[in-house]
Amino acid sequence: MKSYSLALFLALALLPPAFGKTFKVPDEESFASITIPDAWKAKEIDKGVEAQSPDGEVWFAVEGTDAKGLDKTIEEAVDFLKEKGVTVDLTTQKQSSSKLNGMDTTELDWKGTDKDGAAEISLSVIAINSDHALLVTYWASPEGTKKHISDLGDIVNSIKAIK
């Protein structure tokens, strides 16, 4: 029995994770990919993909952009949040830089509110290469962030450059 269990475990460990659907960003002339769990409501949008947690507590979008057109994309993301009733408290801004799968990443985080109360908001720029970047727009309740932190970590870590 032990041999069978070990063999099964090893076979399962070698399988790729059945995590969800992989989206190429942007759909045409893709330069990045992201995988989103099947349980999440995900759909392709003009320049990428947007997704919402099954309970609606977390929403994010990943959009591909020219490195030169990044300012306009950020402006559009901020306008979208305003249209959805998200208010950002600019006094809470925190900025950080890091590497994600070898790519330079800059993140801006804020506290704020939406129609349901407290909200966590972030805009992250992931430099795919010298010509292309991803903008990740994130908005969630504090409880939603805590509840879905494992999925969110898997989603973020799934972001890869396509060569």
pLDDT tens for 116-145 read 999 999 999 999 999 999 999 999 999 999
pLDDT digits (tens, 9 = 90+) for 25-38: 987 889 999 999 99
CB 67 within 8 A of CB 50: no
| Amino acid 35: pLDDT | 96
Residues 6+ apart with CB under 8 A from 7: none
DSSP string for 58-80: EEEEEEEEEGGGHHHHHHHHHHH
Taking the domains of the chain in order of start, what are their residue ranges?
20-161
Nearest-angstrom CA–CA distance, 101 and 140: 24
Residues 6+ apart with CB under 8 A from 65: 47, 72, 73, 132, 133, 134, 135
* pLDDT at residue 10 greater than cutoff 90: no
What is the average pLDDT value for the chain, to the nearest integer?
87
Cα dist. 83→39, 50, 80 in Å?
26, 16, 5
pLDDT digits (tens, 9 = 90+) for 47-95: 899 999 999 999 999 999 888 877 888 888 888 899 989 999 989 999 9
Confidence of residue 19 (pLDDT cuts 50, 70, 90): low
| Amino acid 27: pLDDT | 77
CATH number attached to the domain at 20-161? 3.40.1000.10
The type of residue at 13 is: A
Burial of 109 (0-12, 13-18, 19+ CB in 10 A): middle
Strand order across the beta sheet in which 32-37 lies: 20-25, 32-37, 160-161
